[in-house]
A and B are shown apart, each in its own frame.
Chain A
Amino acid sequence: MATRIDVNGLTAYYGKFKAVADVNLTIEPKNVTAFIGPSGCGKSTVLRTLNRMHEVLPGARVEGRVLLDGEDLYGAGMDPVNVRRTVGMVFQRPNPFPTMSIYENVIAGLKLNGVRKKALLDERVEESLRGANLWEEVKDRLGRPGAGLSGGQQQRLCIARAIAVEPQVLLMDEPCSALDPISTLAIEDLITKLKSSFTIVIVTHNMQQASRVSDATAFFSLEKTGDPGRLVEFDKTSKIFSNPTEKRTEDYVSGRFG
């Protein structure tokens, strides 16, 4: 199933401000690709261009192409709503809908797509929660508010919510940065498991995490504040962390910078 993403000459703006310039990379299907780099270099921005969430912000726009199995997301006739259903997203802070129960949170996306049959919904809820390694912990309290869970559980609930609509790609923006080490480990395990079904892109500040979970790593950086961020190096994770081509990458991954 999962899908390949080709990013060609991507430049993203916030109003007049050019946040990232000329990014080219290819994200392989059923792989975990990590985005690393110093704060403000545009990792989140690039990630959000991959499912057209960037343009949701007022004044934000994108140049260049993002091909999903050869189809340009930004081409004519593309529907951002369908794009976002195909390319799911998990955010930095867990954000379950506060007015919904655990069950309702998981089926939120399905309901939007018109799935109404109770049996099918029940099945999907269990499947998604199992997929997110959360089922055993919440199966007895599906009717309770999603916001009543712990931070780590909430984040897994958000992952369950994202995979319930069966996307092709899962984007994760620092999914563990608000979590404790144990919950972080649980999410990392989950990512490793999920990559058998999804193409995964993850932004992280944690070098160990990048080297633990990812197959390929993209290192972004920027010359100085005010300049647009750029992709410095993109390669297999093992290569980036052991023997990068660029001096700047080496400085960064070895902790001499940022």
Chain B
Amino acid sequence: MTTEPDSSADAAEPRGAASATAPPTDPPPAGGPAAASSGKARVGVADLIFKNLTRTAGIGLLALIAVIATFLVLRATDALSANTGNFLTTEEWFPNASPPKFGVAATLYGTVVSAAVAMIIAVPVAVGIALFITVYAPRQLSSILGYIVDLLAAVPSVVYGLWGLIVLAPHMKGIQLWLNDYFGWIPLFDADSVGRSLFVASVVLAIMILPIVAALSREVFLQVPIAHREAALALGATRWEMIRVAVLPYGKPGVISASMLGLGRAMGETIAVALVLPASFNISEHILSPAGNTIAANVANGWGEANDIGRGALIASGLVLFIVTMIVNILARAIVARRREFSGSAA
């Protein structure tokens, strides 16, 4: 689960452990003065070395991120300065041509649309599964199911991609034709022909993130105190009303962050999408048409034949993906934090 950025610092606050080395402004913890003073006498070289070792590791983490980000940006700017198109609005992807012309518009569009459709399919079902396991299923069954969902969440995405390509894609033809026949008047479902489309990729992504979101939501629902559930039932709530009054409000922040994790996974998923999608570079609202691409899949596909500029272009598109997933994560955290404020005083 995501944690507030400062939670670890808060948690460290009351620890007597830190008192020996804490700045003097920190009040010694209750019952700790003796321990603190005897500790202070013994703060030896070894203690200092160990503390600084762990601190170096922590700072090393920051340095690692800084260094890597710098090199990514450097590589990307080389390619971007050679670009003859507008990187953000161009749909074509010809970074290996001379002059190179490429943009992230089409792949970013595919990334966002496929992940969004996957979320729309997966999140309600995942919440349903989590509710089934925690509220509806008999106890023995529920622990077995919880275990199975955890295992499914660990199945690698390449396996979902393989299955999506070989097994699912052929079966998706009928339903796509049907959607086109009956809902074709909505531009989204209008298509000249159907095949391995963004929609198929979305379904594969949905199936892939389903166990992840369900496993996390299940954990959240398990944490709803029995007292709240019983309080609702004792007021004469039906099971569904109990869920609505006690389980969902309590679990909402957790479900949101589980969904956002799923969204992040869906947007960053490379292999499953690269296997399913035919890789084309145009923005089209017809999600049933055999076309589409995502940033991640484009990196995997375009990688082999890329020249120097091509690699830089792929790295630049990766940076865009990184920024988008970061925005999603930060938004999710903001939503979760806002909702916690109200219930926060309760905890």
Known: A53-B230, A95-B228. A85 touches B345 (CB 8 A): no
Contacts of A161 in B (CB 8 A): 231, 235
Mark contacts of B222-257 with chain A using CB atoms, 8 A cut-off: 1 yes-contact digit, 0 otherwise.
000101101111111110010001100110100000
B 326-347 binary contact with A (CB < 8 Å = 1; else 0): 0000000000000000110111
Query: 7 nearest interchain CB pairs?
Result: A85-B236, A98-B346, A147-B346, A109-B235, A99-B249, A89-B234, A95-B227
A162 within 8 A of B: yes
A115 to B52, CA, bound (A): 63
A53 to B343, CA, bound (A): 26
Task: Tell me whether B138 is interfacial, beta carbon within 8 Å.
Answer: yes
Chain B residues closer than 8 Å to A99, beta-carbon distance: 249-250, 252, 342-343, 346
- Complex contact B235–A165 (CB within 8 A): yes
Question: Is B51 part of the binding interface, using a Cβ–Cβ cutoff of 8 Å?
Answer: no
- A221 at interface, CB cutoff 8 A: no
Chain B residue at minimal CB-CB distance from A58? B139
Q: Measured between C-beta atoms, what is the minimum distance from B166 to chain A in Å?
A: 41
Report the bound CA distance from A161 to B230 in whole Å: 13
Chain B: minimal CB distance from A112 (Å): 5
Separation of A61 and B234 alpha carbons in the complex (Å) = 17
B300-333 near A? 1/0 per residue, CB < 8 Å = 0000000000000000000000000000000000
Q: Does A97 contact B (CB under 8 A)?
A: yes
Assembly CA distance A109 to B237 (angstroms): 7
Q: Which of B232, B235, B252, B345 is the most central at the interface, judged by chain A CB atoms within 10 Å of its CB?
A: B235
A98 touches B241 (CB 8 A): no
Offer 29 A-B interface pairs, CB within 8 angstroms, sorted by A: A53-B230, A53-B234, A58-B138, A81-B236, A81-B237, A82-B236, A84-B234, A84-B237, A86-B236, A89-B234, A91-B227, A91-B230, A91-B231, A91-B234, A95-B227, A97-B228, A97-B232, A98-B346, A98-B347, A99-B343, A108-B232, A112-B236, A112-B238, A112-B241, A113-B236, A145-B342, A145-B343, A147-B346, A165-B235
- A88 touches which of B139, B235, B245, B252 (Cβ 8 Å): B235
Which single residue of chain A is at the shortest CB-CB distance from B139?
A: A58
Helix, strand, loop or mixed for chain A's interface? mixed
Does A56 sit within 8 A of B, measured CB to CB? yes
In the complex, which residues of chain B have a beta carbon less than 8 angstroms from the beta carbon of A162? 234-235
* Interface residue count on the A side (C-beta < 8 Å): 31
Using A99-B346, A109-B235 as known contacts, list a sample of 4 further A-B pairs with CB atoms less than 8 Å apart, ordered by residue number in A. A81-B238, A95-B225, A97-B245, A108-B235
CB contacts (< 8 Å) of B236 on chain A: these are 81-82, 84-86, 109, 112-113, 165
The residue that B231 contacts in the complex, of A82, A85, A95, with Cβ under 8 A, is A95
* Contact status A147-B228, CB under 8 Å: no
Residues 80-119 of A at the B interface (beta carbon under 8 Å)? 81-82, 84-86, 88-89, 91, 93, 95-100, 108-109, 112-113
Verify if A217 is at the interface (C-beta below 8 Å from B).
Answer: no
Interface centre among B138, B237, B238 (most CB of A within 10 A): B237
* B138 close to A97 (CB less than 8 A): no
* Residues from chain A with Cβ under 8 Å of B249 in the complex: 97, 99-100
Interface flag for A11 (CB, 8 Å): no
Distance A253 CA – B250 CA, assembled complex (angstroms): 42
A51 interfacial by beta-carbon distance below 8 Å: yes
CA of A5 to CA of B152, assembled, Å: 51
| Cα(A98)–Cα(B250), bound, Å | 8
Q: Which residues of A contact B225 (CB under 8 A)?
A: 95
Q: How many angstroms from the CA of A85 to the CA of B252 in the assembled complex?
A: 27
Across the two chains, which residue of chain B brings its CB closest to A164? B235
Question: B142's closest neighbor in chain A, by CB?
Answer: A58
CA distance A158 to B234 in the complex (A): 11
Chain B residues, Cβ within 8 Å of A181: none
Q: Which residues from chain A contact B246 at a C-beta distance below 8 Å? A: 97
Cβ of A112 and Cβ of B237 under 8 Å apart? yes
Question: How far is it, in angstroms, between the C-alpha of A86 and the C-alpha of B235 when the chains are bound?
Answer: 9
